[in-house]
Chain A
Amino acid sequence: MNIIVCIKQVPNTADVRIDPVTNTLIREGVESIVNPFDMYAIEESIRLRERYGGKVTALCMGPMQAQNALKDAVAMGVDEAVLLSDRAFAGSDTLATSYTLACAIRKLAPYDIIICGKQASDGDTAQVGPGIAVHLDLPQITHVRKIEEVKSPNAEGKGGVIIAERLIEEGYDVVESTLPVMLTVVKEINEPRMPSLKGKIKANKMVIPVWNAAEIKADVERLGLKGSPTVVNKIFSPPRRTGGKILTGESKQVVDELMKELLEKKVV
């Protein structure tokens, strides 16, 4: 089974600082890590290989230093890694990013399962995974919390099936899909393993191939800033919710009071 895991390198902080003029992230002085949600994707891809055999390839788009994110993935047990790096990719929004990744995935074909984290901790859009599926015209299962079963495809690449649990607000859906498929995973799916020494030694020695726009046969008009219709107008912290009222006393009395207020405010 060929599995591709897409990862992103992000700044390691919950406290991301934004440049007020350009509305972009200030990256100076902040350590870079693998997007935490992608760690679950890496872990799940390795577990799938352990269960069904095959190969896991990690794919990352970013500047040259994003190789370190790929090396972290190799240290955990990923077999191969490819970095997509080209000045033409700079300034990509989720549409251009997913297009670029999709072009690279085509070059990596054949593949059975593509796994992404549900979203990145910096941009928080949750659009790149689904975008890849659309560009490649693949079925997708987002917010996967458990992979129940995978039936590997036959020699012609046909007949592959996956059954997965998809997290929803009230519980979960059980979804069946043909392969190839694109999945995004949530943190409930597993606990990412620690890197291994042998993995780290392998990663340290590995020369990671770097692919540019020409190598993935991408249409330059659809890359980077040029291919990004989304413009961020402003980034701000939403104001904290204030106020609220806590009712105290005997439950019957509190319930009556609550009902009265809700009726007055026409909530119910």
Chain B
Amino acid sequence: MDYFLNDEQKMIKDLARKIAIEKILPVRAKYDEEEIFPNDIVKILAQSDLCGVYIDTKYGGLGGGVFSLCLVAEELSRVCGGIALSVAATALGTYPIILAGNEEQKQKYLPDIASGKKLAAFGITESGAGSDVSGMQTTAKKDGDYYVLNGVKQWISNAGEADVYTVIAITDKTKGPRGASAFIVDKGTPGFSFGAKEKKMGIRASCTRELIFENCRVPKENILDREGKGFLIAMKNFDHSRPGVGAQALGIAQGALDEALDYTRQRVQFGQPISSFQAIQHMLADMATQIEAARALIYATARMVDAGIEKFSKESSMAKMFASDVAMKVTTDAVQIFGGYGYVKEYPVEKMMRDAKITQIYEGTNQIQRNIIAQALIKEQAGKK
């Protein structure tokens, strides 16, 4: 399908594809197996200007918005969803600064992230606060020119590898969701350390660790917006990042279809390539159609966000939820088409199936996405009367 990409978008897509094929494809199985963080690939992406496509040109980015980030996430994930996360998780850690940072904070942090010199990460989830952020325990107590952070953030992508962290902590327990604030924390701040690296089912080339704050003193100028805005910033952040998760899922699904198409034309059973059997053809047709529908939804949502439309939580959740469900379905079908070969690590589709699963879980489970969509629908309907 032709999405009428402009020249710059075409270049982004082509370049991301080229790097994925030439640089990521040869290492993806090894990085997955050995859980290697792709610092070498990040360096290539940085040199090629792909790290900051969504960041304003004023801060050294390309100013391509969420759409361009989706194109990068899609094309890199088409080859490896784990390696692609280094860039996508950085965007999740950077959007709070883009959306809520003041000029000084933007000048200080965005250029290094845009150039790929620094990665970023976002910390909200805790052991007792997943879908329900009201269980958050991490606190930030004002002490003179500092906020003192205490607590542990869990399952943070890019933890340990990133230099810039945006973290949500409670500044006023009595105020519930309005008592949370957002802070920028630099790696190396005394009292800020990392937990052990998690061993994961998929996206194993990404790095997932705890952020541990023990009387970590963060300068007060590192607060984003003002006290009490943390929860709002987090929600706005997710609205902007969810199309990117959708694009990651979309890429994984497309990669699985690419592999399945190749395989079905080569694999001969009953004297003919299995692509000649209708049972296989119908699976391929369904996979391709679902992928195209996911792509259309993600691109339309990203364009809407970039156009400056005010409310897009619903669409953003739809894009993430639909594309990740498609990715799970399509990768499972790809393994099925490959049969026994699909189940072994010598072939790439089992990894794609493992990588796809997380996209239904992180940045809000797909159940939470459905809540958001339904609540928006009900609100819209109520507003009409």
Give residues in A with beta carbon < 8 Å to B: 193-198, 200-201, 204
Q: Is the CB–CB distance between B11 and A194 below 8 Å? A: no
* A197-B12 in contact (CB<8A): yes
**B7 near A: Cβ within 8 Å?**
yes
| CB of B361 closer than 8 Å to a CB of A | no
Decide: B19 and A194 in contact? CB cutoff 8 A: yes
6 contacts between A and B (CB under 8 A): A194-B19, A194-B22, A194-B48, A197-B49, A200-B11, A204-B11
Candidate in A193, A196, A200, A204 with the most chain B CB atoms within 10 angstroms: A200
By a CB distance below 8 angstroms, the chain B residues around A193 are 44, 47-48
Q: Given the interface contacts A194-B22, A195-B48, does A201 sit within 8 Å of B15 by beta carbon? A: no
Which of A194, A195, A197, A204 is B62 in contact with, Cβ under 8 Å?
A: A197
Q: Are the C-beta atoms of A200 and B15 separated by less than 8 Å? A: yes
For B44, the chain A residues whose CB sits under 8 A away are 193-194
Q: Which of B7, B19, B48, B53 gathers most chain A CB within 10 Å?
A: B48
Q: Looking at chain B, what size class is its interface with the partner chain?
A: 10 to 19
Inter-chain contacts of B15 with A (CB < 8 A): 194-195, 197, 200
Please name the residue on chain A nearest to B12 by beta carbon. A197
Taking CB atoms, residues of chain A closer than 8 Å to B48 are: 193-197
Interface on chain B toward A: helix, strand, loop, or mixed SS? helix
Query: How many Å lie between the Cα of A197 and that of B51 in the bound state?
Result: 10
The CA-CA distance from A204 to B110 in the complex, in Å, is 26
Nearest 9 A/B pairs, CB to CB: A197-B49, A196-B49, A194-B48, A200-B11, A196-B48, A198-B49, A194-B19, A194-B44, A193-B47
B18 & A201 in contact (Cβ 8 Å cutoff): no
Q: How far is the CB of B210 from chain A (nearest CB, A)?
A: 34
| Contacting residues, chain A, for B22 (C-beta < 8 A) | 194
Q: State the CA gap A201–B7 with chains docked (Å).
A: 9
In the docked arrangement, what's the CA distance between A204 and B10, Å?
Answer: 12
Taking a contact as CB atoms under 8 Å apart, the answer to whether A197 and B47 are in contact is: no
Contact in complex: B23, A197 (CB < 8 Å): no
- In the docked arrangement, what's the CA distance between A196 and B48, Å? 4
By beta carbon, the residue of chain B nearest A200 is B11
Bound-complex Cα distance A197 to B116 (A)? 13
Q: Given that A193-B47, A194-B47 are contacting pairs, would A201 and B19 also be in contact in the complex, using a CB cutoff of 8 Å? A: no
Closest to B18 in A: A194
B47-70 interface code vs A (CB 8 A; 1 in, 0 out): 111100100000000100000000
In B184-204, the 8 Å CB interface with A consists of none
Q: Could you tell me if B11 and A197 are in contact, using CB atoms closer than 8 angstroms? A: yes
Known A194-B15, A194-B23, A195-B15: A201·B47 in contact at CB below 8 Å: no
Report B116 CB to chain A, min CB distance, Å. 11
> Which A residues are CB-close (under 8 A) to B53?
197
